[in-house]
Amino acid sequence: MTNNLLTTALLPHPPIIIPDIGKDRLADAQLTVDSMKEISSQIVEQNPDTVVIVTPHSIYAKDTFTLYIEHELTCSFANFGAPQIQFSAENDFDFLKALDKQMKNRTDLPKMGGIKPGTPLDHGSGVPLYYLQQAGYKGKVIVINYCASSTKDHIEFGKVLRQSMEDCDKKFAFIASGDLSHKLIESAPAGFHPDGKTFDKIFEDSIKQGNYQNIIDMDEFIRKNAGECAYNSMMMAIGVLNETPDNNKVFSYEGPFGVGYLVATL
């Protein structure tokens, strides 16, 4: 099956945009909330069989791409004061088998490792999945955590993910989960650094212009100073797209709490 990748998107993951968590502060991120609803509805209307999510916040290993490997994936926001927000999704073992087959030939890339059964989904995958399920998504989900390897390795792994999708007779959506700079203002959780706004502007402008090379070539010191968690997720998305924009559109960008939230299709 060809052309079975319906959407590739970059989505933020602040738990505060879930109504039961954000409460009175939800309105401060209304642009992001509205965009998450809009893009989630568009994805659901496309009717993918499986959504592949790359997250920064699950089980992290420096030299290993980690994946959830149990049948049912569960998520709870009890750690964020909302134990009533919990849900589950079915894993896609057909895709996992196709990916494992592809990776047997890629000894040049970091290895893959399974996440211990019983480990709940993190908020990096949970927030996008919350909005997808609120929009009516009932399909399967794959969740992968990126690692500390090179930009090139993440792009190449994204290409392997795309080939694995093409090996399956299914329709897919791909979500790169990540927040941009965590240092936009003095009161930001990680403090302030002027490179934070530089990092976010490169991301936003590059997506608008359909020029992802500017993101790939970004100075590593800007990345480090920005205190971000979206770069490696974006590199995998760029690999999935074979480094060519498909449907690039910025739905919204804002940083009301000192962290950059960008909602976009790629």
Q: pLDDT averaged over the chain? A: 96
pLDDT 10s digits, 213-231: 999 999 999 999 999 999 9
CA–CA separation, 206 and 190 (whole Å): 25
Q: What is the dihedral of CA 245, 247, 251, 252, to 10 degrees?
A: 0
Q: What are 259's two structure tokens?
A: 């962290």
Q: Where are the extended beta strands (E) located within the chain?
A: 5-11, 50-55, 64-68, 72-77, 82-90, 111-115, 140-145, 172-177, 249-254, 261-265
d(C-alpha 180, C-alpha 198), whole Å:
11
Please give the pLDDT value at position 2.
52
Band (3; pLDDT cuts 50, 70, 90): confident
CATH number at residue 15: 3.40.830.10
Tokens of 42: 């568009």
Number of domains into which the chain is organized:
1
For residue range 108-117, what is the model confidence (pLDDT) as tens digits?
999 999 999 9
Say yes or no to pLDDT of 94 above 80.
yes
User: Quick one: average pLDDT of 84-89?
Assistant: 97
**What's residue 160's pLDDT?**
98
Q: Which domain holds residue 39?
A: 5-265
pLDDT digits (tens, 9 = 90+) for 37-57: 999 999 999 999 999 999 999
- Residue that is written with structure tokens 């590593």 in the block: 220
Q: What's the CA gap between 142 and 157, in Å, rounded?
A: 15
**Model confidence pTM above 0.75:** yes
Give the pair of three-digit tokens for residue 210.
């359909």
